[in-house]
Amino acid sequence: AQTVTQSQPEMSVQEAETVTLSCTYDTSESDYYLFWYKQPPSRQMILVIRQEAYKQQNATENRFSVNFQKAAKSFSLKISDSQLGDAAMYFCAHHLRKTSGSRLTFGEGTQLTVNP
C-alpha cells in the first residue's frame, strides 16, 4: 500500500518570501506520479504541480517548483514570491503509473498562512 506523510500541519510565510512544504511517501513501486494540490477555503481542490517519477528533472509551474528526491522518497514544494492568494491547505498526493486514473493517496495536508 502507498502512504503519504506531510509532517508540517501548519506553515506561515511573509508575503513575497519563499516557503517550502515537505512531503514524504512510501511505495515499493518505481513508476508513479506525485502531485501537489491546493485547497482554498472555498474547498475546491486545485492541481498545483505534477511530477512523473521517471523524469529526473524537477517540475516547475511559474512560482511553484518541486524538489523530487526519488531515493529518499521525498517531494517538497517550494513557493517563491508568496502571495496572499497562496493561503490554503496544501496536499501532497501519489498514485502508481500502472493504475493511472485510479485512486489517489493523499497526505494529511499543510495549512499555509501568508502574512501581509
Partner 1 sequence: DTGVSQDPRHKITKRGQNVTFRCDPISEHNRLYWYRQTLGQGPEFLTYFQNEAQLEKSRLLSDRFSAERPKGSFSTLEIQRTEQGDSAMYLCASSLVKAIGGYYGYTFGSGTRLTVV
Binding site for partner 1 (CB under 8 A): 4, 35, 37, 42-47, 50, 91, 93, 100-109
Select 2 or 58, whichever has its Cβ closest to partner 1: 2
Select 83 or 99, whichever has its Cβ closest to partner 1: 99
Select 102 or 116, whichever has its Cβ closest to partner 1: 102
For residue 46, give the C-alpha cell: 486545485
**Distance in Å, CB of 106 to partner 1, minimum:** 3
**Distance in Å, CB of 81 to partner 1, minimum:** 25
How many CB atoms are located within 10 Å of the residue 16 CB?
11
**Distance in Å, CB of 100 to partner 1, minimum:** 4
Going by their DSSP bridges, the two strands 46-52 and 32-39 should be labelled as antiparallel
DSSP conformational letter for 31: -
Select 13 or 32, whichever has its Cβ closest to partner 1: 32
Q: Are 89 and 72 in contact (CB under 8 A)?
A: no
**Distance in Å, CB of 16 to partner 1, minimum:** 28
3-state helix, strand and coil shares in percent for the chain, rounded to the nearest 5? 5, 50, 45
In the chain, the amino acid numbered 116 is: P
